[in-house]
Structure 1
Amino acid sequence: MILVFVLGVILVLVAIGLLAMSLGRETEGGVKRSLAVLEAMTAAPDELSKELDRPFSERVLEPLQQRALKVGRRLSGSDSAVRLQRKLDTAGNPGDMGADRVVSLKVIGAVAFLAIGLALGLVLGASFPVVTLTALGGLLLGFFAPDLYLYQAAYNRAETLQRELPDAIDLLTISVESGLGFDAACQQVARNTEGPLAEEFSRMLSEMQIGQSRSQALRSMAERTNVADVRSFVSAMVQADSFGIPIGSVLRVQSSEIRVKRRQRAEAKAQQVPVKITVPLIFCILPCLFAVVMGPAALSILDNGIS
């Protein structure tokens, strides 16, 4: 019995030892596998590491813009790029945007405003037709929002050009009459003034430096604006350059004419003031005046009627 007991204890100890050895091997194998995974992650290919190191704009925004551009080209016409580039030139190319970027922004804006309109209708608990109208309105608004922005930017830029042109022509006239050439006078305008007109003169000089003639550079400047006074000035300069007319005398005539036009525009706006003030006068000022004048009389009538 003692021998059997001793043999049983030995077998139990052997079993415990074998179990401990197997567990140790499994633990060691798990550690080795973890180390192998870490080594594989640290020794990843350079392409994967470069892909993860790229900024968010290159990994997500640029592919999104390319997909939106493909959809926008299908929705727009074949001449959409030319028309958008024309609008960008007229607006002064805000943000250095290109036609492709505007097309992609139209598609992204349409999707974003569609989601906003749909979410707004659902949050307000509107009926299905109202939700559909809000979603459709958001879609149209998002798609045409870049066009509206470019239109407003072009309008503001045209107003600024028209306001700055007389002073620029005066500076050109003084510079030419003091002995400078026309190109040097344009450089003085570009250097000593600010705004879109100075940018246009600077771009015109840059185009002349890369090989364009003065007439071509002036015509390009006129094509990038919607201001009739700028086109008239450019036409006069091109004709003077073609026929050999003295630039100083032409600038003097242009300066006097543009001053007269500016005075006439100011007088026209002054004559529009009485018409524009009629609506606030009727709906805002006259009711308050009637309340002040007729209020005491109405109170007196009510008091006498009650007594």
Structure 2
Amino acid sequence: MNIIDTLNARMIDVLGPFGGLMVLGLFGVLLILITLPVVLKRPTDPLDRIKAATRADAARAAGPKTERLRTSSGKSKLERYATFLEPQDAKEYGAARLKLLQAGYKSKNAVRYFHFAQFAMGILGLVLGGIYALLEMQMAPVTQKNMAIMLLTPGCVGYLLPKYWITRRVASRKEAIEHGFPDSLDMMLVCVEAGQSLDQSILRVARELKSGFPDLAQEFEIVSQEMKAGKGKEAVLRDMSERCGVQDITSFCTVLIQSQQFGTSIGDALRVYASEMRDKRVMKAEEAANKLPTKMTLATMMLTVPPLLMILIGPSIVGITRMMGTGE
């Protein structure tokens, strides 16, 4: 007990009245970081081992070149922690996957990397908060409430930072797609009227838009590649509308699907829809222009009315003040 009391007194002298609690908290964080990989390690499924052995035997039987082509480049390093880093509910996993797709992250392990980033940033925030709390305790006494705030605030910020980044990325990507979509419709209409098929038109538009609107060009390239792979046009277009998450893209895909189902001309459908998109762009510009007077009213009143009052009423106030001073 003497050794424990001596260590406790030493920590209180160095770190302040909460020195023992701070050391215990940091020790707990380190213990979590050390033991978490062992606890969360997912046992290997025997069926997976059988499948891997079967694939390896088939690759060796096919020859060395085929073995190199078909052998995977390696599993993800986070595969063993998939049960912890991925939602187990299929609906929740699908929602997270769709949001990451709309943000432009199309890797099959994107959900896993996202949750790992949240976990890692949260732990890093807690460590930085603990270091900051230690420095503050050496300079001045810190209450228990302030210490909790200094510890938890960086951790919460680090945990929410990846989610905020994804939300901002989705918004900026949707805005970029909306800006480039009317021009892409006009180019697609020109290609179709020149005699190209829909697949060739989409591929040509993707090449032309790559420098100005890379997000929209990437979506058109995915559509073209999936069509070449033999996937149905209806499924390809619906997948594109889900990935983009833009109402204009959804309406465009619906128009093409209906045109294919009813056997109408794709060129006529594109011409009508492109005309509507041009009108919609003009309406958006007019709406933005009509909002300007309302937005500038407050700034105009704050910057114009006070100087005007000073110019108009200032001399009168000065004259009245002098007159009252002379009368006294």
Q: Same fold (TM over 0.5)?
A: yes
Q: Kindly indicate whether the alpha-carbon contact (under 8 Å) linking 1:68 and 1:104 is maintained by their aligned counterparts in 2.
A: no
1:294 Cα deviation (Å)?
5.4
Residue ranges of structure 2 left out of the alignment (5+ in a row): 1-75
Q: Which residue of 1 aligns with 2:37?
A: none
2:123 to 83, 105, 111: 111
User: CA separation in 2, counterparts of 1:290 and 1:131?
Assistant: 51
1:146 to 162, 186, 191: 162
1:275 Cα deviation (Å)?
2.6
Q: Which amino acid is the alignment partner of residue 171 of structure 1?
A: M
2:283 to 264, 267, 272: 264
Q: Kindly indicate whether the alpha-carbon contact (under 8 Å) linking 1:172 and 1:189 is maintained by their aligned counterparts in 2.
A: yes
User: CA separation in 1, counterparts of 2:163 and 2:109?
Assistant: 13
What aligned pairs does 1:56-95 form with structure 2 within 5 A after superposition?
Answer: 71-73=84-86, 78-79=89-90, 80-93=92-105
Q: Residues 249-303 of structure 1: CA distance to partner in whole angstroms, max 9, x if unpaired?
A: 0000000111111111222222222232344345555445555665666566666
User: CA separation in 2, counterparts of 1:135 and 1:291?
Assistant: 51
2:149 to 116, 133, 146: 133
User: CA separation in 2, counterparts of 1:77 and 1:279?
Assistant: 51
User: CA separation in 1, counterparts of 2:304 and 2:264?
Assistant: 58
Change (3 A) 1:234 1:94: closer
Q: Which residue of 1 aligns with 2:199?
A: 183
Q: Kindly indicate whether the alpha-carbon contact (under 8 Å) linking 1:114 and 1:136 is maintained by their aligned counterparts in 2.
A: yes
* TM value normalised by structure 2: 0.65
User: CA separation in 1, counterparts of 2:312 and 2:81?
Assistant: 63
Q: SS of the residue aligned with 1:224?
A: helix
Q: Residues 28-60 of structure 1: CA distance to partner in whole angstroms, max 9, x if unpaired?
A: xxxxxxxxxxxxxxxxxxxxxxxxxxxxxxxxx
* TM value normalised by structure 1: 0.69
Q: Which residue of 2 aligns with 1:238?
A: 257
Residue ranges of structure 1 left out of the alignment (5+ in a row): 1-61
User: CA separation in 2, counterparts of 1:66 and 1:296?
Assistant: 79
Q: Which residue of 2 aligns with 1:45?
A: none
Q: Kindly indicate whether the alpha-carbon contact (under 8 Å) linking 1:118 and 1:132 is maintained by their aligned counterparts in 2.
A: no
Instruction: Select the structure of larger CA radius of gyration.
Output: 1
Q: Which residue of 2 aligns with 1:53?
A: none
User: CA separation in 1, counterparts of 2:134 and 2:304?
Assistant: 41
1:163 to 179, 183, 191: 179
CA RMSD of aligned residues (A): 3.0
Q: Kindly indicate whether the alpha-carbon contact (under 8 Å) linking 2:199 and 2:227 is maintained by their aligned counterparts in 1.
A: no
2:272 to 230, 233, 253: 253
Change (3 A) 1:94 1:134: farther
Q: Which amino acid is the alignment partner of residue 263 of structure 1?
A: V
Q: Which amino acid is the alignment partner of residue 299 of structure 2?
A: P
Change (3 A) 1:247 1:66: closer
User: CA separation in 2, counterparts of 1:178 and 1:147?
Assistant: 45
Q: Kindly indicate whether the alpha-carbon contact (under 8 Å) linking 1:66 and 1:104 is maintained by their aligned counterparts in 2.
A: no
Change (3 A) 1:287 1:250: same
Change (3 A) 1:220 1:89: same
Change (3 A) 1:245 1:286: same
Q: Which amino acid is the alignment partner of residue 78 of structure 1?
A: D
Identical counterparts, % of pairs: 26
Q: Which residue of 1 aligns with 2:113?
A: 101
Q: Kindly indicate whether the alpha-carbon contact (under 8 Å) linking 1:237 and 1:247 is maintained by their aligned counterparts in 2.
A: yes
2:225 to 203, 206, 211: 206
User: CA separation in 2, counterparts of 1:299 and 1:122?
Assistant: 59
1:97 Cα deviation (Å)?
6.6
Q: Kindly indicate whether the alpha-carbon contact (under 8 Å) linking 1:117 and 1:131 is maintained by their aligned counterparts in 2.
A: no
Q: Residues 95-118 of structure 1: CA distance to partner in whole angstroms, max 9, x if unpaired?
A: 997111111000011111223344
